[in-house]
Amino acid sequence: MKKREDSIVGFIGLGLMGGALAMGLRKQGPRKIWGYDIDPTVIKMAIDRKVIDEGAFDSEGLKKMLPQCDLLFICLSPKDALVFLTTYMEHFKTGAVITDITGVKEVIINNLGNRLRNDIDYIPGHPMAGSEKEGFGNADDSIFKNRNYILTPLPTNQPENIELIKEIVTDLGFNHITETTCEIHDEKIAFTSQLCHVIAAALVDCEDDLSITDFEGGSFGDLTRIAMINAAMWTELFMCNRKNLLNNIEKFESSLEEMKRMIEAEESAELIQRLTAVREKRIIMGEIREAKNLKKE
């Protein structure tokens, strides 16, 4: 793999995340940045703003772009990423490092099979950052500051290429990188991301008063901001990871049902004990995270 300053970097999909990543990579000084998006107006906007140097919006443009890219970020939904990888596999540059930002991993790896070329290095990744806003027009690389990044390396990945991705991610502003398997990634993300979005959506869905925010002091807004989601994208993520997500929904329902029972039975002492344990558990979670950050420094 070439050094960043000598590399041509490409981005497949210039939405909120793809656009933000391209903005962040621009600051790292690669030789050239390519961008692909199906919307020509997005490509024009990205070029005008000097986020990318050259762009493509159709198959012919991709076939010109891909053989030039030393490093490629696939910023698509899981199913679209899989289709892209299988459709354009033969056009990737020999020796290219390819990564993605998809929210689930097993559906891609399990379906790629032996179609992954052995002369490229595909390193799956997942930036734990985002916004309720959508599209390139709302892209801002500041969303990466002090966030987590997850890598799910494959056994065939070259160590120096994994280190390159880590260096790029760190320079983007992410302060904690976790390496794990695709299986564990999907299990954990079902809880920390997908379940949270389901809960936020259900909380908004169960209230009909559209002026309810007149009565909130911050908690409702904090809990429901992520309910303003891209419905098609998140439905795909839920369905691709439905077994893990359903397991976590059932665990949440069990905990909620137990607290409901305590309230119905007016078991104040038991509820105090339960909530105190929850508070202590959350404090420990925060302390573990802080300790990891201090160790890194």
Report the Cα 18 to chain-centroid distance in Å: 11
Decide if pLDDT at 195 tops 80. yes
Decide if pLDDT at 270 tops 70. yes
**Residue limits of CATH 1.10.3660.10 in the chain:** 185-265
Cut 0.85: pTM above it = yes
Report the C-alpha gap between 281 and 297 in whole angstroms.
25
**Residue limits of CATH 3.40.50.720 in the chain:** 4-180
Report the C-alpha gap between 155 and 8 in whole angstroms.
25
Class of 4-180 in CATH? alpha beta
Digit-coded pLDDT (tens) for 98-140: 999 999 999 999 999 888 999 999 999 999 998 878 899 999 9
What is residue 261's predicted lDDT score, i.e. its pLDDT? Answer: 97
Report the C-alpha gap between 157 and 172 in whole angstroms.
22
- Quickly state the pLDDT bin for 5 (edges 50, 70, 90): confident
What is residue 297's predicted lDDT score, i.e. its pLDDT? Answer: 59
Digit-coded pLDDT (tens) for 77-104: 999 999 999 999 999 999 999 999 999 9
**CATH topology for 185-265?**
6-phosphogluconate dehydrogenase C-terminal fold (1.10.3660)
